[in-house]
Structures are given as structure tokens and as C-alpha cells.
Amino acid sequence: MVKDGKINFRQQIQLATLLIAVCVFLSGCIGKKPKVYRVGIVSGVEAFANIADGFKDKMTELGYIEGKNIIYDFQRLNADRVGEERVVKKFVDKKVDLIFAFPTEPALAAKAATQGTNIPVVFAISTIEGTNLIEKVHLPGGNITGVRYPGPESTVKRLEILHELVPHAKRVYLIYDRNYPAIPIALEGLRLASLSLGITLVEDTVNNLEELKSAIEKRVESGDIGIDAILIMPDILTHSADGFATILEFANKHKVPIGGCMGFMADLGALFSFFPDNIETGKLAAGLVDNIFRGTQAGTIMVTTPKCCLRLNCKMIQELGLKVSEGLLNRADEIIR
């Protein structure tokens, strides 16, 4: 109690203690630097590189300002397995706060490189079926989560769209890299679907661009190419600029319709493309990263599946004398005329 304007000794001690506590708190607030997150990004295929653009844009929306509270180390490769392993090892050595890797191979490399560390991994457009990348979709386990490549369902859907556009095509050509992780599960779905559609799958397996060119040349030299349409498979070889250009040149020369995969294929001459949008995929991944930075363990965050976008090349459809139904036009996200 204060008497005659005076504070007794006990009150003086309490006041001094309070003042000290306030000073300590304020000094801590003033001296504490804001967290600056360091994120290593590795793109393993040039066609997927702009996933990083969507990722960064969404991170900015979420309050992570590049150069202020987040720093990116973006490494772009193109089907370079050794390079991917080198890059993710560098990220681990630098003790980054998180690794964002895409597509499948860089994600697998990042998972392996971060074993025994507390560095979380977020992947994008990665095949989870048969790759041991995660344990379960709803509980990926370890310190990893991401945006999956909807390979099984989207590959079958592409065959169905191709059949709708080219119903007379009974022999559909598949040429692919036999060692690519997404291929086995894609083939499993395609073989079942082809039976119900009355389609014969004509397959050539290759390991590299030279073998792809050789396989196509053999068909040309035989005098009968033996196919009615081409379906692009989900592998890096056929998605590469040179790989797709080789297939497209062959298709154009023999007036064979192509069912495309990635968006750019419809622009270049495929009848359609059906694939998740890269920018939107990057944005989905950013949401997962934000949850991790807010304290959620990566392995407990459910893996996300992106929506596939249908782009119809009506110009090419008309050039080949084909017709597109109103139903397919209405389902298209974009129509190229």
C-alpha cells in the first residue's frame, strides 16, 4: 500500500523486478532477427521448370518475400541423373530449410539425400505408384509430401480422348523409355483400357533419343508403319524437345494423329494435351511448404493431386478430317483454333 505518496520497500522490489522483466522482453524483441528460410529447388526436366514460377508466386502471396524472409537456390537440369544427385547433396550440405524437387527422379534423389536429417522434401509431378517415394497418400511418412503426378488415371483418360477423336484408330503406337518410373503403372492401366475400347497397343521400347529415332526409321523403311494413331507416354524422353520433335515429324509426314500429354504438345501439333498445369502445380506445392514452415511435419501432410487440363487443337483436328463432339468441346479447358 502507498502511504503519503511513498512506496514501501516490498513494493519497490516488485516494481524493480517488473521493470527488469519488461526490459529483457523488449531487448529480446529488438534484437531478434526474423527467420529467413532457405529453399533449394531442383527441376529435373526443362519442360517442368516453370513449376518454380507458380511456386514462387504463391509463396509471395503467402507472405514469403524473396530476398527478405526467403531465399531460393534454383537449379535447372534436363534428364541429368548424376547432376540431380549432386544438386540435392549440395542442398543438404548447405543445410537448407526445405528441398522442392520435381519431377520423379529429383524427388527420389532428394528423399535419399535427406535421410538422417531434419530437412523436409516437397515434390511435384512425381509418380508415387511403385516408386517407394511415399508410404500412403494420406500419410506419406518420413519428412516428405508433395503434389503427385496423376499418372494411372490421366494416361488412361488420354487414350479415351484419343479414341473419341479418332474412333477408327485400332492400332495405337506407344514408344517409350522402358526404365522410366511412371511407365509400368501407365502400361497396366492402358492395357486394360485398350481391351474395352477394342484397341491394339503397338509398342516400341527405347532407352535414349538415338534408339527412338532408330525405331521410327525402321517403321518407315518397312513400307508399312503399322499404326493408326500415336499416344505420347509419360516419360522424359518423349517429353523432351528433341524426342517430341522426332515423333511429330514422323506423324506429320504420315498424317498420323497424336494424343498429347503436356500442354505444349497441343501447341505444336498434337490433337490435344491432357496434363496438370505447371503453374497451378507449383502453387499447390507452395501451400504444402507453408504448412511445413508453420510447424507441421511434412510426412503427416496428405499428398495432393492436381487437376488435369484438356487443351484441344481444333486446327489440327480439322486438318486431319476429324470431328470433335460438343461434349468434348464443353469439357475442354482451352481450345486452339
Number of domains present in the structure of the chain: 3
Residues 148, 154, 155, 156, CA torsion sign: positive
CA angle 277, 54, 247 (to 5 degrees): 40
| pLDDT attached to residue 22 | 45
Task: Assess whether 205 and 327 both reside in one domain.
Answer: yes
Distance between CA atoms of 104 and 44, rounded to whole angstroms?
Answer: 8
| pLDDT attached to residue 124 | 98
| pLDDT attached to residue 13 | 55
Cβ atoms 318, 157 nearer than 8 A: no
Give per-residue pLDDT as tens, 60-82: 999 999 999 999 999 999 989 99
Task: Assess whether 1 and 19 both reside in one domain.
Answer: yes
SS3 313: strand
Task: Assess whether 43 and 126 both reside in one domain.
Answer: yes
For 11, the grid coordinates are 513494493
User: How far is CA 304 from each of CA 127, 146, 162, 283, 334, rounded to the nearest angstrom?
Assistant: 12, 6, 27, 11, 23
Task: Assess whether 205 and 329 both reside in one domain.
Answer: yes
Task: Assess whether 286 and 145 both reside in one domain.
Answer: yes
CB atoms within 10 A of CB 76: 16
CATH code (residue 67) = 3.40.50.2300
pLDDT, block means (10 residues), the chain with 337 residues: 52 53 49 84 94 98 97 94 96 98 96 97 95 96 96 94 97 94 92 96 96 96 94 93 96 97 94 96 98 98 97 96 95 95
Give per-residue pLDDT as tens, 230-252: 999 999 899 999 999 999 999 99
Q: Which residues contact 103 (CB under 8 A, 6 or more apart)?
A: 44, 45, 48, 123, 124, 125, 126, 127, 149, 236
Task: Assess whether 68 and 8 both reside in one domain.
Answer: no
Task: Assess whether 163 and 240 both reside in one domain.
Answer: yes
Measuring CA to CA, which residue among 251, 262, 250, 273 is closest to residue 320? 251
Domain that holds residue 3: 1-32
Cis amide linkage into residue 184, ω under 30° from 0: no
Task: Assess whether 161 and 129 both reside in one domain.
Answer: no
Task: Assess whether 163 and 55 both reside in one domain.
Answer: no
Task: Assess whether 218 and 327 both reside in one domain.
Answer: yes
| pLDDT attached to residue 24 | 45
DSSP H or E segment with residue 30: helix 9-31
| pLDDT attached to residue 151 | 87
Cβ atoms 39, 290 nearer than 8 A: no
Indicate the DSSP class of residue 76: E
Task: Assess whether 7 and 138 both reside in one domain.
Answer: no
CB atoms within 10 A of CB 39: 23
Task: Assess whether 5 and 62 both reside in one domain.
Answer: no
